[in-house]
Amino acid sequence: MILLSSDKSSNPVVAILMGSASDAEIMEQAKQILKEFEVSCEVKVLSAHRTPEQTIEYAKSAKGRGIKVIIAGAGGAAHLAGVVAAVTTLPVIGIPVKSKSLNGLDSLLSMVQMPAGIPVATVAIDGGANAGLLALEILALNNPELSTKLDAYRKKMQEKVLKSSV
Ligand code: RP5
């Protein structure tokens, strides 16, 4: 199921932005990871190209509204994460979404090659889950409970991998 509606729980600390509703399936991976760790988020469709003013307004006001990390996914000429990062000093995690024409190489290169001064932490093409986990790792720097949960998640993953040996 693809969930696009905002998390209604109070005080979202992560913003999940996507350039188009067509990115939702990938962004949902990030949302599910946050949900698993009971971290509240809000989800918005905002485009660097189609809604530039609203995108900038949103990014500029995010810190003041209590957002701590922004995850931004876009495909093709994928400027969303960079534009958002340009107007906030919140950490911005970019997800290059696989495109129809160039399989996401265009998205990756548009997003990853930021000029010095405006960082975007770009994850893999369609790397929604890792974007969610990276956001959690950033939040865990000031949250021992979350840090412990992340350690447990890692341990469980390791056990699963080891058990899969035949
Ligand atoms: C980008 O263009 C979006 O992030 C999306 O990945 C891509 C295609 O958008 P649609 O034409 O499907 O709306 O802005």
pLDDT tens track for 91-100: 999 999 999 9
Looking at the structure of the chain, the number of domains it has is: 1
Closest CA to 132 of 73, 80, 54: 73
Distance 73 CA to ligand 1 centre (A): 10
Q: pTM to 2 decimals?
A: 0.94
Closest CA to 46 of 55, 56, 38, 37: 55
Name the more confident of 11 and 27: 27
Residue 31 counted as domain residue? yes
Domain containing 37 — which CATH number? 3.40.50.1970
Distance 153 CA to ligand 1 centre (A): 32
Residue 4 counted as domain residue? no
- Say if ligand 1 is within 6 A of residue 126 CB: no
Atom of ligand 1 nearest to the CA of 19: 4
Q: What is the pLDDT of residues 13-71, one digit of tens each?
A: 999 999 999 999 999 999 999 999 999 999 999 999 999 999 999 999 999 999 999 99
Distance 74 CA to ligand 1 centre (A): 7
- Say if ligand 1 is within 6 A of residue 23 CB: yes
Helix (H, G, I), strand (E, B) or coil at 55: helix
- Say if ligand 1 is within 6 A of residue 20 CB: yes
- Say if ligand 1 is within 6 A of residue 27 CB: no
Atom of ligand 1 nearest to the CA of 47: 14
Q: What is the pLDDT of residue 10?
A: 64
Residue 18 has a CB neighbour count (10 Å cut-off) of 28
Q: What is the pLDDT of residue 166?
A: 76
For tokens 């893999």, the residue is 124
> Following DSSP, what letter does each residue of 112-160 receive, concatenated?
H-PPTTS--EE--TT-HHHHHHHHHHHHHTT-HHHHHHHHHHHHHHHHH
Domain that holds residue 66: 14-164
**Amino acid symbol at 87:** V
Average pLDDT over residues 102-112: 98
- Say if ligand 1 is within 6 A of residue 97 CB: yes
Residue 69 counted as domain residue? yes
Residue 88 counted as domain residue? yes
Residue 5 counted as domain residue? no
Residue 117 counted as domain residue? yes
Distance 19 CA to ligand 1 centre (A): 6
Q: What is the pLDDT of residues 116-150, one digit of tens each?
A: 999 999 999 999 999 999 999 999 999 999 999 99
Residue 1 counted as domain residue? no
Helix (H, G, I), strand (E, B) or coil at 40: coil
Residue 158 counted as domain residue? yes
Burial class (CB in 10 A: 0-12, 13-18, 19+), 51: middle
Q: What is the pLDDT of residues 64-90, one digit of tens each?
A: 999 999 999 999 999 999 999 999 999
The residue to mutate among 4, 17, 22, having the most atoms of ligand 1 within 8 angstroms of its beta carbon, is 22
Which 8-state DSSP code applies to residue 99?
A: P
